[in-house]
Amino acid sequence: MKKNVAIGFLGVNLDKGKGPKRWEGWRPSVDLCNQSDLIIDRFELILDSKYLTIAKQVKADIELISPETKVVLNEVNIDNPWDLGEVYEALFDFADLYRFDTDKEDYLLHITTGTHVAQICLFLLNEAHYLPGKILQLSPPKRGKTLSVGAVSIIDLDLSKYDAIADRFERERKSDTAFLKSGIHTRNLHFNAMIDEIEHVAIRTQSPVLLMGPTGAGKSHLARRIYELKKRRHQIEGKFIEINCATLRGETALSTLFGHKRGAYAGATKDRDGLLRTAHHGMLFLDEIEELGMDEQAMILRALEEQTFYPVGGDTHVKSRFQLIAGTTADLVKLVSEGRFREDLLARINMWSYSLPGLKDRREDIAPNLDFELSKFSAANHRKMSFNKEARQAYLKFALSAEARWTANFRDLASSVTRLCTFAQGSRIDLLSVEKEVERLKNLWRFNRENNFEEILLSVMSPEQLDLIDPFDRPTLSHVVTTCQNTNSLSEAGRVLYSVSRCLRKTTNDADRLKKYLAKFSLSWASLVNT
Ligand SMILES: Nc1ncnc2c1ncn2[C@@H]1O[C@H](COP(=O)(O)OP(=O)(O)O)[C@@H](O)[C@H]1O
Ligand SMILES: [Mg+2]
């Protein structure tokens, strides 16, 4: 049989009493040891030295009515028993030093005596598992029956035992992850696991969060959802402020972010707050953060670390506490190695970083997202849209095939559904509409690809020069151009481009081969890397 050990504060008012009359009043600490069906083997009474006399009387009385109970007096001095910090710390120290032996003893935390603050602290320490055991409270005997004993009730704070409460937490968690996913029943395991983690982290952290991924993967959407989730959970009070850093250029960039003082420069006719200040207590979403200039990066880092900054032309600092979410389509580590992104800023913002997969890597989510887009269109246009059976099959067949490139990911899907719904006669999307849409998508992606080759080539030559190059040669040449621009020397580029054939040769002359290839198009290493 395990021993019962009660731990509780001496009740300086309730437990007090002198002379024979003391037996007529209700003294909870004494009463606790007078229960017929609960034997207390040891009572750890916590008291301030000031009340030693009362404590000694209580000890003697308990030992008189319950000889099996050993009473231990623990002097814990607390100046102000209504001060939560002080009481918590004192009890924490008590718990820290106490030798609990949960194999041999059951602990009962007695909360009938002591200030409300003391009760709260016992509860908190129990809940945080610093004080093991169960909470115990006594209720006074019925009026007029002063000599009878009060009723004991024991509360087990291990909430996991309460199925209903556990269920409730689980439902809440599920509804939070569903909220982050806009209620879409996504099936991709990797994506779902990531959203689970974001749900867990988002409501607990104030640190920056970095969302990476290709365009249209849903970074902006997710950033806003994270904000809304925190708002729902009362974790954030301020606003959601969003800015695409690619739109921040030149002298107005600093003033847009950090604000300015009147007269800071020509045209600054009034004070301006700036986005960092507007995001005070809220969330700042810096989309395409890789587009920030080096000066702005340094200032953002400072503002994050010190939670203050100087507006342009201002000599007093402004405070702002905000949570940063950054979005990027770039490989920031690579940009750091190229000296285009500050290493210290990256270190600061990638505390929690998540990489959102593109639609191609989440094919199993195309169908649920298709339904979601359909209902979104339906709601916005007050028209319930749906596919004919064979039309839906045909669309999904194409959407899931390798031919569907989904270069702009969910943005492509959203536009495609909008077109299908707009062209549909009435509320039904038929096979013919799907076939037309599939052609449109194919053209869109074909155009993008060709367009890309041309764009790359036009960055190193004039349109007249490009006109002289066969379509046959354009893909290869544009690949050569990008490889040269991403390597450090002609030899290195040659090694990459001729990586297969060079192994079959006795002597290697990659640099020379590459130089001759470029010369055919009147290009040279220098002309490529100096653009
Ligand atoms: N989880 C999602 N639920 C619903 N729609 C989404 C979701 N993620 C993205 N979208 C849609 O996809 C499109 C692109 O998303 P967006 O967040 O702007 O991408 P990114 O910022 O990564 O370029 C938007 O039209 C958005 O409504
Ligand atoms: Mg975006």
Q: How far is the CA of 223 from the centre of ligand 2 (A)?
A: 9
Does 3 contact ligand 1 (Cβ within 6 A)? no
74 with 46: CB under 8 angstroms? yes
Residue at 490: amino acid letter: L
Question: What does the pLDDT average to over 442-462?
Answer: 79
DSSP line for 351-401: SEEEEPPPGGGGGGGHHHHHHHHHHHHHHHHT---EE-HHHHHHHHHHHHS
Q: Is pTM beyond 0.75 here?
A: no
Q: How far is the CA of 298 from the centre of ligand 2 (A)?
A: 23
Domain 166-355 in the same topology as domain 3-157: yes
Candidate from 221, 244, 418 with most ligand 1 atoms within 8 A of CB, to mutate: 221
Question: What does the pLDDT average to over 227-243?
Answer: 92
Domain extents in the chain:
3-157, 166-355, 359-453, 463-529
The predicted pLDDT at position 130 comes to 87
Q: What is the CATH number of domain 3-157?
A: 3.40.50.10770
Question: What does the pLDDT average to over 228-254?
Answer: 89
Exposure of 484 in the CB half-sphere (CA atoms within 13 A) = 25
DSSP line for 85-144: HHHHHHHHHHHHHS---TTTEEEEEE-SSS-HHHHHHHHHHHHTTSS-SEEEEEEPPPTT
Q: For the chain, what percent of residues have pLDDT higher than 70?
A: 97
The predicted pLDDT at position 531 comes to 60
The DSSP bridge partners found for residue 52 are: none
Nearest to 76 by CA among 64, 91, 61: 91
The predicted pLDDT at position 161 comes to 65
Torsions phi, psi for 42 (to 5 deg): -145, 145
Candidate from 209, 289, 410, 419 with most ligand 1 atoms within 8 A of CB, to mutate: 410
The predicted pLDDT at position 458 comes to 83
The predicted pLDDT at position 445 comes to 85
Pick the ligand that lies closest to the CA of residue 410.
1
203 with 230: CB under 8 angstroms? yes
The predicted pLDDT at position 456 comes to 81
User: What letter does residue 427 receive in the DSSP assignment?
Assistant: T
Residue 447 has pLDDT above 90, yes or no: no
The predicted pLDDT at position 463 comes to 83
Does 235 contact ligand 1 (Cβ within 6 A)? no
The residue contributing the CA closest to ligand 1 atom 25 is: 411
The predicted pLDDT at position 311 comes to 92
Q: Which residue has the tokens 């001759």?
A: 516
95 with 130: CB under 8 angstroms? yes
Does 219 contact ligand 1 (Cβ within 6 A)? yes
Ligand 1 atom closest to Cα of 186? 1
Candidate from 411, 412, 417 with most ligand 1 atoms within 8 A of CB, to mutate: 411
430 with 501: CB under 8 angstroms? no
pLDDT bin (cut points 50, 70, 90) of residue 199 is: very high
Residue 158 has pLDDT above 80, yes or no: no
213 with 194: CB under 8 angstroms? no
Distance CA 125, CA 94 (A): 11
Q: Which residue has the tokens 């569903």?
A: 178
Mean pLDDT, the chain, whole residue set: 90
Question: What does the pLDDT average to over 45-60?
Answer: 96
Q: How far is the CA of 248 from the centre of ligand 2 (A)?
A: 15
Q: Which residues surround ligand 2, an ion (CB under 5 A)?
A: 220, 287
Question: What does the pLDDT average to over 457-478?
Answer: 88
Q: How far is the CA of 293 from the centre of ligand 1 (A)?
A: 26
User: What letter does residue 531 receive in the DSSP assignment?
Assistant: -
pLDDT bin (cut points 50, 70, 90) of residue 480 is: very high
Q: What is the CATH number of domain 359-453?
A: 1.10.8.60
Distance CA 216, CA 213 (A): 8
Nearest to 481 by CA among 505, 458, 462, 511: 458
The predicted pLDDT at position 269 comes to 84
Reduce the DSSP state of residue 313 to 3 states and report it.
coil
pLDDT bin (cut points 50, 70, 90) of residue 402 is: confident
CA distances from 106 to 40, 450, 459 (A): 10, 76, 78
The predicted pLDDT at position 145 comes to 56
Q: Provide the strand spans (E) within 21-69.
A: 42-47
Helix (H) or strand (E) holding 457: helix 431-458
Q: How far is the CA of 217 from the centre of ligand 1 (A)?
A: 6
Task: Work out the widest C-alpha separation in the chain, in whole angstroms.
Answer: 116
Residue 375 has pLDDT above 70, yes or no: yes
Does 181 contact ligand 1 (Cβ within 6 A)? yes
Residue 146 has pLDDT above 60, yes or no: no
Tokens at residue 299, please? Answer: 């200032």
Question: What does the pLDDT average to over 99-111?
Answer: 94
The predicted pLDDT at position 181 comes to 92
Angle between helix 294-306 and helix 250-258 axes, rounded to 10 deg: 10
Residue at 113: amino acid letter: T
The residue contributing the CA closest to ligand 1 atom 3 is: 182
The residue contributing the CA closest to ligand 1 atom 13 is: 411
- Residue 219 or residue 485, greater confidence: 219
Ligand 1 atom closest to Cα of 221? 17
Does 414 contact ligand 1 (Cβ within 6 A)? yes
Burial of 327 (0-12, 13-18, 19+ CB in 10 A): buried
Residue 433 has pLDDT above 90, yes or no: yes
Does 362 contact ligand 1 (Cβ within 6 A)? no
Does 133 contact ligand 1 (Cβ within 6 A)? no
Please name the CATH architecture into which domain 166-355 falls. 3-Layer(aba) Sandwich (3.40)
Question: What does the pLDDT average to over 507-530?
Answer: 89
The residue contributing the CA closest to ligand 1 atom 12 is: 410
Question: What does the pLDDT average to over 339-349?
Answer: 95
Residue 184 has pLDDT above 70, yes or no: yes
The predicted pLDDT at position 380 comes to 87
Q: How far is the CA of 351 from the centre of ligand 1 (A)?
A: 23
The predicted pLDDT at position 148 comes to 66
Does 184 contact ligand 1 (Cβ within 6 A)? yes
Q: How far apart are the first and last CA of the chain?
A: 85
Ligand 1 atom closest to Cα of 411? 13
Residue 52 has pLDDT above 60, yes or no: yes
